Structure 1
């Protein structure tokens, strides 16, 4: 049963209705069909990226400039589960290569030695994730003052340094921007040492500018926001307990 031009009559049963939906040139149906087709395509791409990365969401949009010049606000970053394709010199069984180790092995990511990781500050999944470079590992209770680069701490002893001795084992991290992130995250109070369980994945590739679309829809772009300060991002505490004067690179997930 057809209604002309070999298009089935939708009243001929479920199979005929489906065939009509797929073949009719009715304007409203064409719109719905294209919308469904686009949604399925996006879903398939998302599932493919998830299969490759092992992380959901596999894409995040960078909200702030604390990783400049190696990452910019508005970059779209592909994140991968840190255990995948990890080199043999990664830290323990974490799959993460620290800056300290990378220097010895000539390993580089995003313009510098060491992995750049996405992590939950203080393990709090309700805070905006941070994407910073891993500098070195500390053990539980370790006095890591002598291990630190003196340029990146704001104290003259372990006792005067935040998170020293280390309250627990984890990574010491830092943003690449030497102007807004002149100290380690742990020295600024952005996070305590990053436990492996807090790491959501390692950053692998960036697509410039493509993250602005997601940031705009998420309301993370505020007109007049000063460079280096993220809207809706993680607050980075100052060393003297005053309001934040350093920033962390906050992320907006792309789902």
Structure 2
């Protein structure tokens, strides 16, 4: 029995060689090959076109749409003008709601209330039932100068005691309204020259020399701050009888310096008056 190792037969060696050298002829399936690589050419084309803007509105699209959306200078000017009118209208409504009268502003034409109110000032006026002081006469809503002085002295208008009222002289609504201070209240038949008047504001007149004394009716005796005599002294300033409460259309509460000059200048330029009857409103106020 031989101890040498057993050697392979030639046939076995050839078979093994044949097995090792045989190429893998089986094709790989598409599933085994993995996902196909993508290329730039396979991607959908990008939309590089700029987005189209909405066509500009034109009058043919309708006047309203054109006016609201068009960039035409005429449409822009109309929108700007409408905005200004809307703002002015809103401010006007607020002023009317606050004051209770229309218009709520009056221009001053003379200097009889100086230095407290000057010619050309614009004054803000309110209804008589607004800003009523505790010393007001009855239901008139007006505090006279004498009543303010006899009270706590805090009811001031334009630096002086008492309300400054707007009234129609002699109740004539066709006349320019007057804005003067209410000095005191008198009752029908009262000899107010003896009971309440300041002698310096009478010009040495007696009751017999005045048509308004004794008082023909209940009402106010008035005077401009810059005037030396009462309005009820004939031939002086406003030249009116005792002012009935129903002749009073408003009270002046605030002044806007010089803003009234614009309206007065325009009125003078065009030689027209913008002052309608007092019953409707007062655009111009004389300080008599």
TM-score w.r.t. the length of structure 2 is 0.71
2:131 is aligned to 85
Shift of 1:251: 6.4
Alignment of 1:41-120 (within 5 A): 41-105=87-151, 106=153, 107-120=155-168
Structure 1 residue runs of 4+, over 6 Å off?
none
Structure 2 runs not aligned, ≥5 long: 1-52, 276-281
Alignment of 1:80-229 (within 5 A): 80-105=126-151, 106=153, 107-146=155-194, 147-177=196-226, 181-189=227-235, 190-219=239-268
SS in 1 for 2:135: coil
Determine which of 53, 61, 64 is the counterpart of 1:18. 64
TM-score w.r.t. the length of structure 1 is 0.79
Distance 1:12 1:25, change over 3 A: closer
Shift of 1:142: 1.1
Aligned length: 221
Report Cα offsets for 1:51-98 as digits up to 9, x if no partner: 100011100010110000000011110000011131232000000000
Question: Which of the pair has more CA radius of gyration?
Answer: 2
SS in 1 for 2:188: coil
* TM-align CA RMSD: 2.6
